[in-house]
Amino acid sequence: MSEKDKNKSIFTRSIHSGEDRLRYADAITTPIVQSSTYSFKDSKEIEAYTKNDKIRFEYGRYGNPTEKVAEKRLADLDGAEDSLMFSSGMMAITTTILALVQTGDHIVITDDCYGKTLEFCRSYLKRFGIECTIVPFGKYDVLDSSIRKNTRFIFSESPTNPYLNVFDLIKFRKIADKHKVITIIDSTFATPFNQRPLEFGIDLVIHSGTKYLGGHNDILAGVLLGKKELVSKVRDLHKSMGGVIDPHCCYLLLRGLKTFPVRVKTQNENTLKIAEYLEKHPKIEKVYYPFLKSHAHYNVAIEQMKGGGGVVTFTIKGDLDASKRFMDALEMIYIAPSLGGVETLITHPATVTYYKYTREQRYNLGIVDNLFRLAVGLEDPDDIIADLENGFAKI
């Protein structure tokens, strides 16, 4: 993207960024280059490639042309020097972490991160002699005092699941600067439409592209964004780990990205409307949405984010049985994990995500029986509300 294009809006850049306008058969869409290997014309071409004179492709696990377009577009949207795509969000997280640590290192992660990220840091890294301190989300003094000489990075997420806690990126950066430690943010729930952590001085940003970036509940993808030097380190390990994204999936991601800002803008508006409706509803106990004044992190959210996102969490006035009756009466809303797609999805963490936990363990983590997470899609918000009413009638 040229300097003059950088002034274009996110709506325009989501369609055009990264695209090479010279195309096979003059098509206006990026081709799916479905090839696992790439040929060299002669020994001269090999030489140019190995000397790094020419950017080209060699073998599918090291990258493909469709992926390169997606990487360029995502780097532009998040304001990153470099980016790297993966076959899933978890592949991006685990490969990045492994590339940055070695035996004897220590890492710090906040306790409100995605469950599988926490599990990887808590259980698997230990096997390789890497210590992990898990600090309570939002306790910035504890975060500060937990950093040691051998701390390689601090990792957090914002907003978080399911209570949509918002991390103060300015405080995060200040702590990191004091200790000269790498900062990583999983920004899946925020997306580059609502927040660009790199502009706050965060070193690395990760998204599960499975959610808002793809936007149609039909792909798995992940992306790492940030400074060239750090992303390059991860790129080397990525080639060995092999969690590459395939060209067809990249095409679907590129297609999803064209409508990404339109979708997220609408999801912000519709979710706020639904959150306000829920807050006034007699069958509702409490609503959690960062752009509601009642949210604990409302001030940080409105200062550091453009919109509250497409997820709203709430507790109903009722027990586990009432919660099941509410969920079972929904007709349009799918009972399914995930978020960020065009279909509205609802999850009941007590019976799905935390089904292996005892009630006491769940309650210690704030996962109460009557808790629901609604990932708002692109249906008319009045139709979503009408379906929620089907459920509330059964409580």
In the set 114, 163, 212, 251, the catalytic residue is 114
To which residue do tokens 């706050």 refer? 200
Catalytic-residue membership of 211: yes
In the set 211, 306, 362, 373, the catalytic residue is 211
Catalytic-residue membership of 373: no
Shortest Cβ 346–ligand PLP spacing (Å): 15
**Cβ proximity to ligand PLP, 214 vs 318, nearer residue:** 214
**Cβ proximity to ligand PLP, 207 vs 283, nearer residue:** 207
Shortest Cβ 47–ligand PLP spacing (Å): 39
Looking only at the bridges linking them, the beta strands covering 106-110 and 151-157 are: parallel
Amino acid 149 reads K
CB atoms within 10 A of CB 255: 15
Shortest Cβ 138–ligand PLP spacing (Å): 17
Q: What are phi and psi of 367, to 5 degrees?
A: -95, 85
Shortest Cβ 115–ligand PLP spacing (Å): 9
**Cβ proximity to ligand PLP, 306 vs 373, nearer residue:** 373
Looking only at the bridges linking them, the beta strands covering 371-375 and 311-316 are: antiparallel
Shortest Cβ 90–ligand PLP spacing (Å): 4
Q: How far apart are alpha carbons 194 and 161 in whole angstroms?
A: 16
Structural tokens at position 179: 């200790």
User: Residues interacting with ligand PLP, by CB under 6 A?
Assistant: 88-90, 114, 157, 161, 186, 188-189, 208, 210, 220, 222
**Partners of 335 in beta bridges:** 346
Q: How far apart are alpha carbons 171 and 143 in whole angstroms?
A: 10
Q: Give the SS3 label for residue 8.
A: coil
3-class secondary structure for 78-130?
Answer: HCCCEEEEECCHHHHHHHHHHHHCCCCCEEEEECCCCHHHHHHHHHHHHHCCC
In the set 186, 203, 369, 387, the catalytic residue is 186
**Cβ proximity to ligand PLP, 105 vs 186, nearer residue:** 186
Shortest Cβ 136–ligand PLP spacing (Å): 18
Shortest Cβ 44–ligand PLP spacing (Å): 41
**Cβ proximity to ligand PLP, 90 vs 231, nearer residue:** 90
Catalytic-residue membership of 61: yes
**Cβ proximity to ligand PLP, 89 vs 349, nearer residue:** 89
Torsion of CA 163, 169, 170, 176, to 10 degrees: 120
User: Starting at the edge strand that comes first in sequence, how are the strands of the sheet with 151-157 ordered?
Assistant: 82-86, 222-226, 204-208, 182-186, 151-157, 106-110, 131-135
Q: How far apart are alpha carbons 213 and 193 in whole angstroms?
A: 10
Q: How far apart are alpha carbons 318 and 282 in whole angstroms?
A: 12
Shortest Cβ 66–ligand PLP spacing (Å): 18
Catalytic-residue membership of 59: no
**Cβ proximity to ligand PLP, 147 vs 164, nearer residue:** 164
Residues in contact with 151: Cβ distance below 8 Å, sequence separation at least 6, in sequence order: 105, 106, 107, 108, 179, 181
Q: How far apart are alpha carbons 178 and 181 in whole angstroms?
A: 8
Residue nearest to ligand PLP (CB): 89
Q: How far apart are alpha carbons 306 and 219 in whole angstroms?
A: 26
In the set 61, 233, 258, 265, the catalytic residue is 61
Catalytic positions = 61, 114, 186, 211
